[in-house]
């Protein structure tokens, strides 16, 4: 009898405990969002919140069929201080019959911690891009002329456009640097979906995009040094110094990396060797940052070197967790830095810059594609395929913001351009590829 009574009471106690726990959870979340919590405690809430946002982003990617970069940036934008204030003001104007806090939620408070996670995300991202590319395939002549055309023409047009609209020298140089960027991920995902990665034009896009990244990052290093220099002699010296240091680093990193690769491939990837591998990537990032290049240049070179390891697949598998942790936080953080008021106020220049970004890549890379003897439709695919600016342009803008060279408004203009080009290009590419497939089937 007593046993049956206990069995009946036990589920009720369990439900009671669960109910109290849920009430406590809601209270903790409300306090964490609207109240005051010590920073060393709040950081855990922020990391959990960012990871849950990343989960929501992945779900949105599945249902919307849009690039994850764009989705995560939009989620970050929705969490930005400017958007939340605008939304909260609109909410108050509705005179809802419920009581809501006077101040909007202040979720992502620790900008320094978020910045560290975002920087690690950028390093991991460029490392993974490097891991998918081989040196010998990248430096082909056709890829080089497409990459050069995709650097020079957009840089010139971007610079003179920014200057003509009254932009400062520093802002104009960052606009020009951002327009040289190319996002490999969006285009490659579409080519993979249509099973075209082995086509010659696809190899040119991938190789040229990677070269674009290398050249674009060097351009970024030039821009950072130039905008920090004063006087023509200082600028010329800064350019020459950056060029010499960049060449020494690129060549030296490959030579030194080959010795590390031989050591790494002697045995299986043990926990100790995996930690050495991560140290290798981060040291190259630090090396590049220390000599005036960007940390992501070092991470990219480390990825290209480790691409040749016999443990390539195992390295990919073991670093997947780092990719899943840091990369979403990187893209979300970039969205939080955007100023929604600036987007509304500067909508016209943002649209003009986005159109110029697409046209300069299409014309420059398309013309180089014709020189490479591609068919007209393939040339159009190359031109548009090189147009998404994506993560590299975002990195350019974020570096300009964090170094104090760009204002938040200027950052928002460049970052929104990167977002729009990433959004607009996929449907255009899909139409061109479907037409190409149709032509091939008829032939």
Inside any domain, residue 84: no
CA–CA separation, 300 vs 278, rounded Å? 13
Burial of residue 259 (number of CB atoms within 10 Å: 0-12, 13-18, 19+): exposed
Measured CA to CA, the distance from residue 238 to residue 224 in angstroms comes to 10
What does the pLDDT read at residue 423?
Answer: 73
Burial class (CB in 10 A: 0-12, 13-18, 19+), 254: middle
Token code pair at residue 232: 């023509």
CATH number of 381's domain: 1.20.1530.20
Q: Which residue has the tokens 């045995």?
A: 267
Block means of pLDDT (10 residues each) for the chain, 443 residues, are 59 78 80 74 81 82 71 81 79 68 72 76 80 71 87 91 86 87 70 75 80 72 66 61 78 89 86 89 88 77 86 84 80 75 81 92 89 87 85 77 80 83 80 83 68
Report the predicted TM-score, pTM, of the whole model to 2 decimal places: 0.69
H or E stretch covering 307: none
> Which secondary structure element, helix H or strand E, spans residue 411, and what is its range?
helix 408-442
Is the Cα dihedral 150, 284, 118, 404 positive or negative?
A: negative
Give dist(CA 126, CA 302) in Å, integer.
9
Q: Which domain holds residue 181?
A: 111-240+323-442
The pLDDT score that the predictor gives to residue 341 is: 76
User: What pLDDT shows up at residue 160?
Assistant: 92
Residue 98 lies in a domain: no
Q: How many residues does the chain have?
A: 443
Q: Give how many domains the chain has, as a whole number.
A: 1
Whether residue 263 lies inside any domain: the answer is no
For residue 52, being part of any structural domain is answered with no
Contact 406, 400 (CB under 8 A): yes
Q: Is 11 part of a structural domain of the chain? A: no
- Determine the pLDDT at residue 29: 77
Report which of 373, 347, 358, 443 is spatially closest to residue 142, judged by C-alpha positions: 373
Show the tokens assigned to 29. 């979340």
On whether residue 430 sits in a domain, the answer given is yes
The radius of gyration computed from the CA coordinates of the chain, to the nearest angstrom, equals 25
Helix%, strand%, coil% for the chain, nearest 5:
80, 0, 20
Identify whether 414 is part of a domain: yes
The predicted structure's pLDDT at residue 391: 67
The verdict on residue 284 lying in a domain is no
């Amino acid at each position: 009898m007593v046993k049956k009574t206990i069995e009946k009471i036990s589920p009720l106690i369990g439900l009671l405990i669960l109910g109290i726990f849920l009430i406590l959870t809601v209270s903790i979340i409300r306090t964490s969002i609207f109240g005051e919590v010590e920073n060393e405690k709040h950081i855990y809430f922020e990391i959990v919140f960012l990871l849950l946002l990343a989960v929501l982003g992945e779900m949105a990617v599945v249902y919307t069929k849009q690039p994850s970069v764009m989705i995560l940036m939009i989620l970050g934008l929705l969490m930005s201080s400017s958007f939340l204030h605008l939304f909260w003001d609109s909410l108050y104007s509705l005179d809802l019959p419920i009581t809501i806090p006077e101040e909007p939620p202040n979720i992502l408070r620790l900008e320094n911690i978020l910045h560290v996670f975002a920087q690690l995300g950028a390093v991991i991202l460029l490392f993974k891009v490097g891991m998918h590319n081989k040196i010998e395939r990248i430096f082909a002549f056709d890829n080089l002329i497409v990459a050069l055309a995709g650097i020079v023409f957009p840089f010139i047009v971007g610079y003179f456009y920014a200057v003509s609209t009254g932009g400062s020298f520093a802002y104009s140089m960052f606009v020009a640097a951002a327009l040289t960027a190319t996002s490999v991920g969006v285009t490659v995902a579409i080519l993979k979906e249509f099973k075209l990665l082995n086509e010659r034009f696809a190899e040119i896009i991938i190789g040229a995009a990677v070269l674009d990244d290398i050249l674009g990052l060097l351009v970024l290093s030039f821009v950072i040094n130039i905008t920090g220099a004063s006087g023509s002699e200082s600028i010329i010296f800064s350019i020459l110094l950056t060029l010499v240091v960049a060449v020494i680093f690129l060549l030296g990193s490959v030579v030194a990396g080959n010795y590390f690769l031989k050591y790494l491939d002697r045995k299986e990837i043990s926990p100790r060797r995996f930690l050495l591998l991560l140290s290798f990537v981060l040291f190259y990032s630090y090396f590049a940052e220390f000599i005036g290049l960007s940390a992501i240049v070092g991470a990219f070179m480390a990825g290209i070197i480790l691409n040749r390891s016999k443990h390539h697949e195992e390295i990919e598998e073991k670093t997947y967790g780092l990719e899943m942790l840091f990369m979403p936080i990187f893209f979300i953080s970039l969205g939080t830095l955007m100023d929604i008021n600036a987007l509304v106020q500067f909508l016209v220049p943002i649209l003009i810059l986005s159109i110029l970004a697409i046209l300069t890549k299409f014309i420059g890379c398309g013309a180089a594609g014709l020189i490479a003897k591609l068919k007209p439709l393939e040339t159009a695919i190359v031109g548009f395929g090189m147009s998404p600016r994506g993560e590299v342009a975002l990195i350019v803008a974020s570096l300009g913001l964090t170094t104090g060279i760009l204002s938040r408004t200027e950052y928002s203009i460049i970052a929104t351009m990167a977002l729009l080009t990433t959004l607009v290009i996929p449907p255009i590419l899909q139409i061109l590829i479907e037409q190409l497939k149709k032509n091939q089937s008829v032939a």
